[in-house]
Amino acid sequence: MKKDLISNDIQLNASGKLVHLLGLEGLSKQHLTHILDVADDLLDAQGNLKKSKALDDMSVANLFFEPSTRTRNTFEIAGKRTSANIINVDLANSATKKNESLLDTMHTLKAMQIDMFVIRHKQSGLPHYVAENIGNVAILNAGDGINAHPTQALLDMLTIRQYKKNFESLSVAIVGDILHSRVAHSGIQALKTLGTKDIRLIAPEGLQYESKNCDTIKCFTDIETGLKDCDVIMVLRLQKERMMEADIPNEQEYFDNYGLTFERLALAKPGAIVMHPGPINRGVEIDSSVADGEQSVILQQVTNGIAVRMAVMEILAGKS
């Protein structure tokens, strides 16, 4: 499904309440801020996760049609910490492998009294398709193709807000494969909605944003220029299969030109924070000295990911 044909209109009910989380386009600043506020309330003063009984009468099915460890585990933990009954569907041996249609599988799960589907799929728009065709079940997009990864963007926004407070005055640099990154696409949308004016996209020409989007966002092929005086650096994971598309002969050349080193980090503001959605390719996108350094907030992102996913589940269930 083409990205420009994917609509998020169905994720709000007639009263403007969130009933699905499919993407961040179409959501207001108030919607995003509410999610961040609920997530904040699920962390104690030391930044540790609280437990909640909000979903103790509900069942949540994790449907990961695409390999994932970090995202699947954090959704499972989030569900358990909100007291939901979690079902991890064995898709390797599911009926879809026996030629049952995807919608038939979803209808069967719904008949098992599932209240929420967490869906990750390689096809852009698949969670939207399910939401359009299955009623009375909340759909939560855990990443679809190269389209969107809304909870990753929200956990990134929560992390930025914890360290930087005000989005409007920030300079945020996103480094890596912008073109194919659902993390970048959702992150850019979130930053725009929250009022960030200075968004910088740093990538090789073959992995840069579509040129029409560079009219409103600053696009750089030179990392040193792009990082100058920024407040936040978001490093993206580079998939090996994308290197050939961008005429990058090997990982070392990518690191030489776009890897975040301690020297390049020094071009940003002194208090700049470093982020990465994980898993990290050390020595490809980022040097270990930076990933493990004082300015790195990568592990905080992981904790925040659970809080954000707990918050979204509670909101979709009408409990927050």
pLDDT higher than 90, residue 246: no
Examine the domain organization and report whether 287 and 166 are in the same domain: yes
| Residue 71 counted as an annotated binding residue | yes
Examine the domain organization and report whether 21 and 115 are in the same domain: yes
Task: Judge contact between 218 and 197, C-beta under 8 A.
Answer: no
* Domain limits for position 208: 150-301
pLDDT tens digits along 192-211: 999 999 999 999 988 898 77
* 238-242, 245-249, 300-304: range with highest mean pLDDT: 300-304
Q: Per the confidence metrics, is the pTM higher than 0.85?
A: yes
CA distance 182 to 210: 14
Sign of the C-alpha dihedral, residues 81, 194, 117, 277?
negative
Total structural domains in the chain?
A: 2
Examine the domain organization and report whether 131 and 169 are in the same domain: no
Share of the chain above pLDDT 90, in %: 79
**Neighbouring residues of 154: CB distance < 8 A, sequence distance ≥ 6:** 24, 32, 35, 36, 39, 190, 308, 312
Examine the domain organization and report whether 144 and 266 are in the same domain: no
pLDDT tens digits along 272-314: 999 999 999 999 999 999 999 999 999 999 999 999 999 999 9
pLDDT of residue 213: 73
| Residue 182 counted as an annotated binding residue | yes
pLDDT tens digits along 57-91: 999 999 998 888 889 999 999 999 999 999 998 77
Examine the domain organization and report whether 187 and 88 are in the same domain: no
Q: Which amino acid, residue 110?
A: K
Q: Where are the alpha helices (DSSP H) in the chain?
A: 29-41, 70-81, 102-111, 126-133, 150-164, 182-193, 223-227, 240-245, 251-258, 262-265, 288-291, 298-316
Task: Judge contact between 65 and 92, C-beta under 8 A.
Answer: no
| Residue 98 counted as an annotated binding residue | yes
CA distance 317 to 306: 17
- Reduced to 3 states (helix: H, G, I; strand: E, B; else coil), residue 232 is strand
Separation in Å, CA 320 to CA 16, 48, 53, 183: 14, 20, 12, 25
Examine the domain organization and report whether 15 and 155 are in the same domain: no
Beta strands 198-202 and 218-220 are parallel
| Residue 278 counted as an annotated binding residue | yes
Task: Judge contact between 22 and 148, C-beta under 8 A.
Answer: yes
Average pLDDT rounded to a whole number, residues 38-44: 97
Share of the chain above pLDDT 70, in %: 92
SS3 letters for 63-115?
A: EECCCCCHHHHHHHHHHHHCCCEEEECCHHHCHHHHCCCHHHHHHHHHHCCCC
Residue 75 sits in a domain of what CATH number? 3.40.50.1370
Instruction: Go through 276-296 and write b for each residue having 16 or more CB atoms within 10 A of its CB, e for each that does not.
Output: bbbebbeebbbbeebbeeebb
| Residue 81 counted as an annotated binding residue | no
pLDDT of residue 149: 97
Examine the domain organization and report whether 231 and 312 are in the same domain: no
Residue 185 in tokens: 């696409």
pLDDT of residue 101: 84
| Residue 143 counted as an annotated binding residue | no
| Residue 31 counted as an annotated binding residue | no
Examine the domain organization and report whether 159 and 62 are in the same domain: no
pLDDT averaged over every residue in the chain: 92
User: pLDDT band at 144, cuts 50/70/90?
Assistant: very high
Examine the domain organization and report whether 134 and 123 are in the same domain: yes
- Reduced to 3 states (helix: H, G, I; strand: E, B; else coil), residue 155 is helix
Examine the domain organization and report whether 311 and 295 are in the same domain: no
pLDDT of residue 253: 87
| Residue 53 counted as an annotated binding residue | no
Examine the domain organization and report whether 100 and 110 are in the same domain: yes
Examine the domain organization and report whether 166 and 134 are in the same domain: no
User: pLDDT band at 242, cuts 50/70/90?
Assistant: low
- Reduced to 3 states (helix: H, G, I; strand: E, B; else coil), residue 200 is strand
| Residue 309 counted as an annotated binding residue | no
User: pLDDT band at 139, cuts 50/70/90?
Assistant: very high
| Residue 33 counted as an annotated binding residue | no
pLDDT tens digits along 88-110: 987 766 656 556 788 888 899 99
